[in-house]
Structure 1
């Protein structure tokens, strides 16, 4: 068995920070802590934007061009009876589809939340730019999309369990950054970049978003 570095520090941190922020967002909304809900939402928006940019300039396994394939590639992968034995660094075609799905659902959740209103106390900073009908639709979408997101999370967990049963510990690799493979010496290994580059970018994007949108929410919480 050979250990291969497949996830850089940003991708690993992004994955677990996203989990934490989604839980925090749900908890705050469920307990009417809307100021914190917005603060965590801005943090997640900055994280999403950074991941999107990293998908073009980051490590090989983080790049969209590396793991996003055609629908036919997904079908062929699902039909392949030996798919669990194939050597594939990073996301396989099924995992790639899950990444795209999560990115789409999360940006939908973020944008709809920024444009939503409860008509009482809380209103997203973008709601002022839309008609009452559009804001009402965004508020509905924010609720419905979250249920879809929960379904996608459940599907993701089921897939992780399935791979674990096939002796592929995906969760461990997302902690350590490395995974073990058989006979990979002749295969070109993915190029890794320093994840700190992405975290610096994240800090800059988060600062810009909080300066534009979040300073009032954060100021309310601090004072």
Structure 2
């Protein structure tokens, strides 16, 4: 009597992860350019001396990319638009209670962090335009304001640094927390642009959300490049006028 032998392991169909484009290239470049500019700004201001001029250049660069991000928040791709992740009291409470569905983009708490950073950085760069230390640097708009206004804005500019460092620390801590305790890598999508969704996890998302991939084609990127270039030219004009 012949016997059957199984020489290999049983194979099962593997369900591939779903890849969804969340962050378009303009948003990813904005993110990493902002990181580099903030690092450069922090280093140059602490070096002092002639490096303070580089601090100004980094500040102008931050202003440029911030203006771009604000505009892109209205005309950019799906998950870059502010309306797609605008937090509400209800959404925040549901998220804290673990009752809200997962999101492809920013969750309500992450959205608060984004808006806080955009606001504080905007305050920092705008006040920096009026700074006058009477030694090594004078902001391009300081000459248009009274000495009392310049002094007041200079104090805000210096004091806001602590707030920025605090928000950045919270941001980095959140990235570590999600990686360590939730197994979610928040950095990878900001590099590749894509978020991997395991088929078994799709039930935790809204079906409508899973179908909202961001557009990230040549037309989108070209428009973003032209927009950034225009903003850079305008900022450069006013900074050197």
Identify whether the pair has TM-score above 0.5, normalized to the shorter chain: yes
Report which structure shows greater RCO (CA 8 Å, sep ≥6): 1
After the TM superposition, list the runs of 4 or more consecutive aligned residues in structure 1 that deviate by more than 3 angstroms: 182-187
* Structure 2 gaps, min length 5: 1-16
How far apart are the structure 2 equivalents of 1:192 and 1:89? Answer: 14
Match of 2:190 among 160, 164, 174: 174
Which residue does 1:140 correspond to in 2? 155
How far apart are the structure 2 equivalents of 1:167 and 1:197? Answer: 35
8 Å CA contact retained: 1:6, 1:190: yes
Which residue does 1:220 correspond to in 2? none
How far apart are the structure 2 equivalents of 1:75 and 1:159? Answer: 18
Task: After superposition, give the CA deviation of every residue in 1:3-33 in whole Å (9 maximum; x if it has no partner).
Answer: 1110000111111110000011111111121
User: Bigger shift: 86-95 or 163-172?
Assistant: 86-95
8 Å CA contact retained: 1:74, 1:93: yes
Which residue does 1:39 correspond to in 2? 57
User: TM-score, normalization: structure 2?
Assistant: 0.83
Structure with greater helix percent = 1
How far apart are the structure 1 equivalents of 2:166 and 2:53? Answer: 26
* Structure 1 gaps, min length 5: 216-223
Task: After superposition, give the CA deviation of every residue in 1:72-128 in whole Å (9 maximum; x if it has no partner).
Answer: 311221121x66xx4311111111101100100100000111111102231111112
User: Bigger shift: 68-77 or 14-23?
Assistant: 68-77
Secondary structure in structure 2 of the residue aligned to 1:198:
helix
Please state if 1:77 is matched with 2:77: no
Displacement of 1:212 in angstroms is 2.1
Map 1:23-172 → 2, pairs under 5 A: 23-32=39-48, 33-80=51-98, 86-165=101-180, 166-172=182-188
The number of equivalent residue pairs is 212
